[in-house]
């Protein structure tokens, strides 16, 4: 493997992935809160380099992506009191991927939650999980220069405000740092 596959891609500007806020970064990946989480704690993990398919990522990017999934999963399990997690990647448009940028969904789960066993996968693949729709609608909204986020759908899930997402992102960032200190053997 050449050195170019081992070095992270340069990040020349801020990370943009629709109306989401980043709470954790690594050399190759970032974790962000979701505008319209399917269940509390639903976050996304993405590689910095935008590509639609897992097969287009380098070995280093794949390793970092899934190590980040594992790391963030530990924190989500603790802070949301999860007894299980759904971790999903829709690899391509025909698999339900609504944004042509690889991303893994992590959804904390508990017995009896509204995700109902495998029902959460139907939610991810359906209109509720259409990350691209939220992104497209936000771009349309910004083009119209309205002062507030648009109402994205009439379903039971509402779009969260930037303030709500920022609060969750800052909280999760602090919790990730707390877990990192604990792994290093420092005081929590």
SS (H, E, C) 10-73: CCCCCCCCCCCCEEEECCCEEEEECCCCCCCCCEEEEECCCCCCHHHCCHHHHHHHHHHHHHHH
Residue of 42, 48, 101, 103 with catalytic role: 103
Alpha-carbon gap, residue 121 to 28, rounded angstroms: 27
| Residue ranges of the binding site for substrate | 34, 90, 96-99, 105
103 is catalytic: yes
* Cα→Cα distances 80→10, 72, 163, Å: 33, 12, 20
Alpha-carbon gap, residue 76 to 73, rounded angstroms: 5
User: Residue 110 in contact with residue 62, Cβ under 8 Å?
Assistant: no
Which of 92, 55, 65, 54 is CA-nearest to residue 8? Answer: 65
| Residue ranges of the binding site | 34, 90, 96-99, 105
Residues noted as catalytic: 103
């Amino acid at each position: 493997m050449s050195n170019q596959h081992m070095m992270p891609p340069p990040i020349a500007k801020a990370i943009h992935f629709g109306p989401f806020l980043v709470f954790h970064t690594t050399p190759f990946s970032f974790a962000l809160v979701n505008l319209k989480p399917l269940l509390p704690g639903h976050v996304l993990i993405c590689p910095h380099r935008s590509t639609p398919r897992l097969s287009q990522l380098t070995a280093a990017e794949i390793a970092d992506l899934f190590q980040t999934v594992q790391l963030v999963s530990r924190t989500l399990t603790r802070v949301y009191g999860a007894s299980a997690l759904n971790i999903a990647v829709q690899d391509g448009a025909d698999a339900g991927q609504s944004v042509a940028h690889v991303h893994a969904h992590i959804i904390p789960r508990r017995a009896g939650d509204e995700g109902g066993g495998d029902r959460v996968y139907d939610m991810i693949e359906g209109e509720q999980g259409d990350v691209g729709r939220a992104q497209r609608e936000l771009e349309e909204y910004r083009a119209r220069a309205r002062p507030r986020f648009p109402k994205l759908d009439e379903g039971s899930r509402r779009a969260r405000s930037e303030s709500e997402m920022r609060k969750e992102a800052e909280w999760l960032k602090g919790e990730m740092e707390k877990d990192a200190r604990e792994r290093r053997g420092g005081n929590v």
